[in-house]
Structure 1
């Protein structure tokens, strides 16, 4: 992994992930794959246009399904939000990713449910942030299926910029990310 994607973790034994672009970082467990700094992950409109993209990305359970080379059980990373209000960034960010994931290849959409934004603490309890979630219930079979996909966004102000973190994980499968681990990742999001 290039040095520019690395930062000291705040949780011993985990990996610290740096986004030089956002001047922010977060930690993930040792078994996550930290993508190279130039790698972006997200969703396209099936015509090749990216509609929801994150950087400073990590992958949870790469190649989760042996028959699908590009399969995974989740991703996490940062989304550029500029000076957008944190609550608006959290709500719009999670909706953008969930709606993009809900688009089926035949241009129909899987159902998306959302929760109201709520406060959360990041930077190990020192910064107030806003979190929002959305759940997609896939309606079309895939090579690496799951009953639902949970999207979580976290946003907070740092100076004049809003830092927006987003993660999504398959739910209802044996290798689902345990919620306490997801919550712990969120506590490590921090400006650098």
Structure 2
């Protein structure tokens, strides 16, 4: 469901909402029947940078990714074929990147941004619209409605996705390692632990990594252990980021986050296979 209305205040409990917005039109994709307008820096997938402890960008509930147009052949991918047989191509024209996902993933619109709200922010105040923990663009989502719940008993059912992946800008990064390491724990914090930070464990140094297409960069992982979150859909989470440069020489980062300790957990081996398909895709439309 699409909505232009801002959310009606703080989220129920301590779970943060996933927010989605069509970047080109600034139309909100509502989660349940709520959403948040990403204005100013929030509509840019460079947003969410900064220190890895995510102190300033606190809690976000993990209401699953809002519904958005899905397509096996999103705009910009007409000449792009998957490098893994039977998989789907995910293209981000803005960043000049592409990667593949298994056939059971939903490929969202290239113009869509998804990310996590800050659960400590009062979104009933328009001045706070656009304040998010972290966002990424041109996403693909695994099991959009993996878990449904109404923990705050407000009559709105929140849908939690099992996993999601996309690409974001890394403006301000001085190396591929910084592009990955400085933000990776924000995905775990935003989706799984807010407002707690003590349950998050992350890599202290980024590791060199080269994709099958020859893109060189750095990867970093973050995971939560025994998050204090409560609720029907609460779980621990994990995230990985791959920092690299696109054809314009700008630092960008491929991101993936997902639930852990659950029956359907996305295996690390599959995550690494998806990561191995990351590649450059023409000239980025924005730097």
| Deviations 1:74-116 (CA, angstroms, capped at 9, x unpaired) | 1100111136221111101203323333553xx4545211113
2: CA distance, partners of 1:150 / 1:126: 26
**Are 2:109 and 1:21 aligned?**
no
Equivalent residue, structure 2, for 1:92 = 182
Matching residue of 1:52: 134
Considering only aligned residues, what root-mean-square deviation do their CA atoms show, in Å?
Answer: 2.0
The 8 Å contact of residues 43 and 50 in structure 1, kept in 2 or not, is answered as: yes
**What is the match of residue 32 of structure 1?**
105
Report how far residue 51 of structure 1 moved.
Answer: 2.2
Alignment gaps of 5+ in structure 2: 1-70, 124-130, 150-156, 282-287
1:3 Cα deviation (Å)? 3.4
Structure exhibiting the larger radius of gyration computed from Cα positions: 2
Q: Is the 8 A contact 1:13 1:30 kept in 2?
A: yes
How far 1:33 moved relative to its partner? 1.0
Report the structure, 1 or 2, having the larger strand content. 1
- Equivalents in 1 of 2:189, 2:98: separation in Å? 26
Scaled by the length of structure 2, the TM-score of the pair is 0.60
The structure that is helix-richer by fraction is 1
Cα distance in 1 for partners of 2:83, 2:163 equals 21
Structure 1 window deviating more from structure 2 (55-64 vs 157-166): it is 157-166
* C-alpha separation in 2, matches of 1:121 and 1:81: 18
Aligned residues: 188
Q: Please point out which of 278, 281, 286 is paired with 1:189.
A: 278
The reply to whether residue 120 of structure 1 matches residue 212 of structure 2 is no
- Give the TM-score normalised by structure 1: 0.88
